[in-house]
Amino acid sequence: MNSKKVPETLTIAGSDSGGGAGMQADIKTMQEHHVFATNVVVGLTAQNTLGVQSVLPTPVEMINAQFDSLYDDFDIKAAKTGALFDQERVEAVVANINKHNIHPIVVDPVMVAKGGARLLDDSGIDAIINKLMPIADIVTPNLPEAEVIYGKKIETNDDVIAAAAHIQQLGARNVIIKGGHQQGDTLSDYVLLESGISFTIESKKYDTIRKHGTGDTLSSAIVANLAKGASIKEAIIEGKHYIDTILQSEIIVGHGHGPLNHWGAEDEIR
C-alpha cells in the first residue's frame, strides 16, 4: 500500500448548491493542486447558474465548533476566506483566525455574486475592511470590490496603484487587484507585495459566460501553492496561470453563468 503526506488547507466560505463558486470551487481547485481541503461553512446559498435564490448564514456557535474541530486534528498550512455574509459572521471568523493563529490567510472580499446578488451587507463590509483585512496576508479584490474598499472610482492605472496602496495601508500585507472587469481583450492584474515591489500580470480576456467562481478559484489556487511551499509572489503567479489554463476549455453546465472547467488543468498541475 502506498501512502504519502499531503499539505492540508482550509476554506472559510459559503456553500454554493450549484457547485460553481463558493467552497465547492475552492475544494475542486485545491484537489486539482494535490492538497487536501478542509472547510468551515459560514453560510448556505440556494444557488444555480442563473443566480442566488436564498441565503442562510451559519450560527456563530457552529462556525466556532467547526474551527475547533479542524484545529484539534489537522495541520493546516494555508487558508482563505470567501463569502462571509454579515458583520456577526465576519467577527466570528476574525476571532477564530486570531485564536488559532491562522496564517498565511488569503482574504477574498466577496461582496456580490456573479449574477448581481449581494452577499455582504454594509456592516459586514465595514467589518471586512476594519477587522479582517488588517490580519490578511493577501487580499484579492476585483475592481468593484476594490472601489468599495478604496471609497473612490477606479478608472485609470494610477487609480489601481493608489487603491492597492490604500488597501495595504489598512493592514493587508500583499494585494492583488483583479482586472476581470476591465474592457478590451487583455486583462491586467496589479500586484503590490509587502516588500513594496509591484508588478502586473497580463492575460487574455475570454469572452464567455462560463467563468462562474473565478475569484474563488484564484484565491484557492494561491492558498494551495502557499501550502506547497511557494512564496507569496510565486503563489500569485501560479494561481493566475491556473485560471488562464482552465479558461481555455469549457464545460456546458446549467443555463446561465456556467462554472469553470477544473479538469482543464489536470495535465499541468502536479
User: Coil, strand, or helix at residue 38?
Assistant: strand
Q: Are strands 36-48 and 51-57 parallel, antiparallel or unpaired?
A: antiparallel
- pLDDT below 70 — which residues of the chain? 113-117, 180-184, 267-270
Q: Structural domains in the chain?
A: 8-264 (3.40.1190.20)
- The pLDDT, as a whole number, for residue 178 is 94
CA 40 to chain centre: 14
How many Å apart are CA 139 and CA 173, to the nearest integer? Answer: 8
State pTM to two decimals.
0.95
My answer on whether omega of the bond before 104 falls inside 30° of 0, hence cis, is yes
- The pLDDT, as a whole number, for residue 119 is 76
Tens digits of residue pLDDT in 121-150: 899 999 999 999 999 999 999 999 999 999
- The pLDDT, as a whole number, for residue 112 is 75
User: Coil, strand, or helix at residue 262?
Assistant: helix
The cell numbers describing 22, all together, are 463558493
Phi, psi of 193, rounded to the nearest 5 degrees:
-90, 160
- The pLDDT, as a whole number, for residue 204 is 87
- The pLDDT, as a whole number, for residue 269 is 59
